[in-house]
């Protein structure tokens, strides 16, 4: 299996001006052009799900999920960056069904079978390649039976990770791909527990 080194390592406690600008642009355009289309392609939400936004960053995706959970659902964003979570908290102030947590998903006590949907957008490639497997295993543990993990990752050699690595990590954690789309720059996929038929 090819593994990526992801040459553009980011410091999310002190993000560059360019990254901060990108986050502000996402806040204006992201819901319409990135998050909603991604969620809809994956099957969308009924509205009552418990959702984890892993690596929620500035919370733009979390905010979009929150507004789509119209039937009692809730969303929890988790991130390791206090800087990004500060932005997320501000953006989610008016969203009673959304909360954010700071910390390492492998150590946070989120229970088992806790989430119907786990969304991860542009996160896994930013984690050290030798730690990715333990993160994916932690995500698989907190996914409910019949739950889904929604993945969106860049796949360029200069910035991203190979599609085969994503599939191999998921497979090792007992997950299989049920939907995917890849275009050489980006991979989008949906995973469920192996052997489930729904």
Ligand X SMILES: C[S@@+](CC[C@H](N)C(=O)[O-])C[C@H]1O[C@@H](n2cnc3c(N)ncnc32)[C@H](O)[C@@H]1O
Answer yes or no whether residue 26 interacts with ligand X by CB under 6 A. yes
Answer yes or no whether residue 165 interacts with ligand X by CB under 6 A. no
| Backbone CA torsion sign across 123, 125, 126, 131 | positive
Among 84, 117, 142, 173, binds ligand X (CB under 6 A): 84
Answer yes or no whether residue 160 interacts with ligand X by CB under 6 A. no
DSSP classification of residue 29: I
In angstroms, rounded to a whole number, what is the distance separating the alpha carbons of residues 177 and 44? 17
Complex with ligand X: residue 136 or 175, whichever CB lies closer: 136
Nearest residue to the partner ligand X, using Cβ? 57
Question: What residues contact 158, with CB distance under 8 A and at least 6 apart?
Answer: 7, 8
In angstroms, rounded to a whole number, what is the distance separating the alpha carbons of residues 95 and 139? 24
Among 79, 116, 153, 165, binds ligand X (CB under 6 A): 79
Answer yes or no whether residue 153 interacts with ligand X by CB under 6 A. no
CB of 47 to ligand X, least distance (A): 21
In angstroms, rounded to a whole number, what is the distance separating the alpha carbons of residues 115 and 60? 19
Question: Rule CB under 6 A: which residues touch ligand X?
Answer: 12, 26, 55-58, 60-61, 78-81, 84, 105, 121-123, 126-127
């Amino acid at each position: 299996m090819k593994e990526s080194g992801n040459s553009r390592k980011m410091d999310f406690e002190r993000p560059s001006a360019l990254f901060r600008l990108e986050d502000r642009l996402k806040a204006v355009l992201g819901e319409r052009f990135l998050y909603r289309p991604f969620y809809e392609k994956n099957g969308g939400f009924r509205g009552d799900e418990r959702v984890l936004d892993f690596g929620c960053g500035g919370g733009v995706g979390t905010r979009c999920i929150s507004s789509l959970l119209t039937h009692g659902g809730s969303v929890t964003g988790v991130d390791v960056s206090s800087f990004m979570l500060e932005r997320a908290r501000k953006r989610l102030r008016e969203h009673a069904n959304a909360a954010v947590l700071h910390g390492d998903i492998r150590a946070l006590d989120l229970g088992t079978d806790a989430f119907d949907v786990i969304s991860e957008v542009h996160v896994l490639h930013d984690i050290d390649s030798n730690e990715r497997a333990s993160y994916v295993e932690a995500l698989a543990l907190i996914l409910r039976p019949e739950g889904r993990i929604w993945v969106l990752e860049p796949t360029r050699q200069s910035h991203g990770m190979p599609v085969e690595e994503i599939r191999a990590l998921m497979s090792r954690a007992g997950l299989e791909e049920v939907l995917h789309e890849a275009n050489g720059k980006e991979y989008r996929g949906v995973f469920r527990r192996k052997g489930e038929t729904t």
